Structure 1
Amino acid sequence: MASDTAIQEAESAIARLATPPMIPDPYPLYDAIRRVDRVYESTTLGAYAVTGYKEVNTAARMASMRNGVRAAAMQRPDWQEHDALRLFLRALVNLDPPEHPAMREVAAAVFTPNAIKRMRSSIERLAHRFVEELAERARDGEPVDLVPALASPFPVAVISEMLGVAGDQGMLFYELANDWTRIWGGYYTDADLVQADKSVAELRGYFSELFRARRAERRDDLISALVEQHEAGRLDDEDLMALATFLFISGFETTTNLISTSVYTLLENRDQLELWRNKPEITASAVEELLRHGTPISGTVRLTGETIRLGGKEIPPGRMLFLMTAGANRDPLQFTDPDRLDLTRNEGGHVSFGGGAHYCLGANLARMEAQIVLPMIINRFSGIEVAGEVEWRTAIGLHGFEHLPLALSD
């Protein structure tokens, strides 16, 4: 039985985790919750906080689970009046059966492992370009902000090329998408929602033009493949828009955070940075460890569709579960010395990409991009230092940087 003090600390941790802005080091808060219970029924949340690796992994794979974010958003009485919310609720990540399996099947038919493998040479070309541009910006000795210089535009360029978005439009789409995703975590102001509605209207216009262009002339890109699915009757108009915009966002959100947090984490763990430089063969395990250690998207919300047993508890239907993947990735029952970065770690997979029916569609693309660009960065520059005040992202659930100024030298 947990003490009153421990329970108070857990409730305080949950309140902080649920209140913007996101903090740079949330892991002691997950520990405080886990000390009370790995599946903790919080009075602050009115829901369960799940921080155990086994429990998060199990819950993510339960077929009876429903999307908690979708359920919460639809409790807003005016959600249908906001285009940003309507399109958000049609996004693949928010769908439940029977819509989700049907949409996922279409997405998997176009966003295939082979399509991602075919991008490897393009990813290498784009990574080389952005790393060399980084070097050029650093030649005068001034700090270079990694986020706008590479961490954001590189994955945007990759997914833009896959979809068939023109290079000069990719970052415009990115800015509009950022306005939209600001409301995805559920914590936003009225001004955020107004801007999201405006930006979604612009995104719709741009993607509608792309659809019209591909109907007139097919290309070897994902937009053409989606248009074919639409014309075959497997997507209606709104599904086509929702899936195209979601694939665009899923192509950069995780990777942008992963690149920036990985570089920062390596600079804080110089022994591991040097190990990777000297042993390039550890690249695959290094990226997996960076995904575990600095989980780019810290959690997700599920709603029980029936009575379940989890962590020794019986949980009735209609209850919210906050699956805290970042906390699960630092669970000491799963990982030895979990706060330590070990690029050669081999203790089972992380849960950074979720699991079950909602396993991240872009996981393999994010892995490939990180495996290519991170070694390029650490080997291109012999000197890498943080050179100024860093700024973490403030959106709840997103772990990454807005600004990461670096001093770089050959």
Structure 2
Amino acid sequence: MTSDSAIQEAEAAIARLATPPMIEDPYPLYSAIRRVNRVYESATLGAYAITGYKEVNAAARMANMKNGVRAATTQRADWQEHESLRLFLRALVNLDAPEHSAMREVASSVFTPNAIKQMRKSIEALAHRFVDDLAERAKSGEPVDLVPTVASPFPVSVICEMLGVPDNQGMLFYKLANDWTRVWGGGNYSDADLAQADTSVVELRGYFSELFEARRAERRDDLISALIDQHEAGRLDDEDLMALATFLFISGFETTTNLISTGIHTLLEFPDQLARWRGNPDITASAVEELLRHGTPISGTVRLTAEPIQLGGQEIPAGKMLFLMTAGANRDPEQFPDPDRLDLTRNDGGHVSFGGGAHYCLGANLARMEAQVILPLIINRFSTIEVAGTPEWRTAIGLHGFEHLPLVLSE
């Protein structure tokens, strides 16, 4: 029988995980919940917290689910008055079947594995450019912030090239998109965050509208042109076109930005694994997967049961919110022995950092490729990498990465 104190710890952990800012080390909180139950019904939330690997994996693949973030957002009586929330609810990640299936088919027809594969040379060239810039800045001996120097602009430049966004506008689009993603959690944002998101989305829509008009006048070999073709074929209406283009932009950098910053920081915390990777470049693929598991860039997602389900030996009624805590699942000791340890050659089964089922991350292969290119470049270019001062973690709920990561580097 579970003790009252363990239940109190679990409830306190859930309350903390649901309250901004995002905690630097959330993993003990996931463990506190899992100790009570891997599928835990929280009295505080009136919802289920899922921290077990098998249970998260199973729930992510269930067809009889609705998007929980969408449901939470539409509970706001005024959501239709906010530009940021209206466009957010049209994003691919928030749609339910059959709308999701139709939009996913269109997205998959332009954001193809072949399109990503063809980006390899461009990704390598961009990675060298940004690491060269990092090295140049580091020559002074002063700390260099990895996030604005590499972790943010590198994946932004990649997705800009794929979409056809002008390179000199990429970081402006990134700033506007970051403002928008502050309201992507379904709640837990301030009135000021919402107001800024509305303003930024209006501006972002304006820039994308200009791109659409330019591609209507003259097609290019980019994803915006491909989306315009889909629009003119009647497979996307005006709002779907805007929602899908802006979503593809965000999905092209959000995970990778967090993965680069947390990946470098984690390697510095485990110097034996850093040395192991430097000495054996053949482990690059498994190293990136382990960094995705250990640091889980996007820590969870939310589902709503459309009908009663069985999960973890429990029957869960229809209409219940499930918080799929992917970061917790990725540290589940039943799946990953000694889960807090970084092991770049770990082979204990796949992580759930990219979700699963119909909502499996569309940009997963792009994020993998970018990380497999940029991280070895950084760790092999610099013989010394040290954190300088106090890094600043991102505060948005669900996003696990750095806002600032100052480093002292030497070749």
Same fold (TM over 0.5): yes
Match of 2:32 in 1: 32
Query: What's the secondary structure of 1:407's corresponding residue?
Result: strand
CA distance in 2, matches of 1:38, 1:388: 37
CA distance in 2, matches of 1:6, 1:102: 45
Amino acid at match of 2:323: F
1:229-280 superposed Cα distances (whole Å, 9 cap, x missing partner): 0000000000000000000000000000000000000000000000000000
Match of 1:48 in 2: 48
Shift, 1:191, TM fit? 1.1
1:344-366 superposed Cα distances (whole Å, 9 cap, x missing partner): 00011000000000000000000
Match of 1:272 in 2: 273
CA distance in 1, matches of 2:124, 2:188: 37
Which 4+ runs in 1 deviate beyond 4 A? none
Match of 1:344 in 2: 345
Matches within 5 A, 1:149-188: 149-185=149-185, 186-188=187-189
Shift, 1:388, TM fit? 1.3
TM-score if structure 2 supplies the norm length?
0.99
Match of 1:233 in 2: 234
Matches within 5 A, 1:324-403: 324-403=325-404
**Root mean square deviation, CA, Å:** 0.4
CA distance in 1, matches of 2:194, 2:387: 34
TM-score if structure 1 supplies the norm length?
1.00
Match of 1:142 in 2: 142
Match of 2:309 in 1: 308
Match of 1:8 in 2: 8
Shift, 1:214, TM fit? 0.4
CA distance in 2, matches of 1:334, 1:238: 42
Shift, 1:187, TM fit? 1.4
Amino acid at match of 1:242: A
CA distance in 2, matches of 1:401, 1:217: 39
Matches within 5 A, 1:2-151: 2-151=2-151
1:5-45 superposed Cα distances (whole Å, 9 cap, x missing partner): 10001001111111111111100000000000000000111
1:305-334 superposed Cα distances (whole Å, 9 cap, x missing partner): 010000111011100000000000000000
CA distance in 2, matches of 1:363, 1:313: 31
Match of 2:318 in 1: 317
Match of 1:409 in 2: 410
Matched, 1:218 2:215: no
CA distance in 2, matches of 1:189, 1:12: 22
Matched, 1:190 2:191: yes
Amino acid at match of 1:271: D
Structure 2 gaps, min length 5: none
Amino acid at match of 1:43: A
CA distance in 1, matches of 2:383, 2:306: 53
Matched, 1:288 2:289: yes
Q: How many residues align?
A: 410
Amino acid at match of 1:117: K
Amino acid at match of 1:397: G
CA distance in 2, matches of 1:34, 1:122: 43
Amino acid at match of 2:385: I
Match of 1:247 in 2: 248
CA distance in 2, matches of 1:324, 1:92: 20
CA distance in 2, matches of 1:277, 1:18: 38
CA distance in 1, matches of 2:198, 2:236: 23
